[in-house]
Amino acid sequence: GGKKLSLPEVFQMELVMSLQCALHPDFPEGVRALLVDKDGAPQWQHQSVAEVSPQWVEEHFQAPWPDGVNPLQDLAW
């Protein structure tokens, strides 16, 4: 089974993941292909899911803040 997270922990994780997605080149490439050029032909970093390394996935869970403090750390439920 997966780790059970509290609602504040879920929000904290979602913030980290959304920022990391925006920092990786595939996000702007998808925006370009869908909304800007509208060619529907994104050039992804990986040609298939099989090419995605565990390290690349793990990067999406790493806090991008230098001090590692999530801005939502004081969020309480």
This prediction's pTM: 0.78
pLDDT of res. 66: 85
For the stretch 44-77, pLDDT in tens is 999 999 999 999 999 999 999 888 789 999 998 7
Could you tell me if 11 and 65 are in contact, meaning their C-beta atoms sit under 8 angstroms apart? no
Can you give the residue ranges of every domain in the chain? 7-43+50-59
- Give me 52's structure tokens: 């995605």
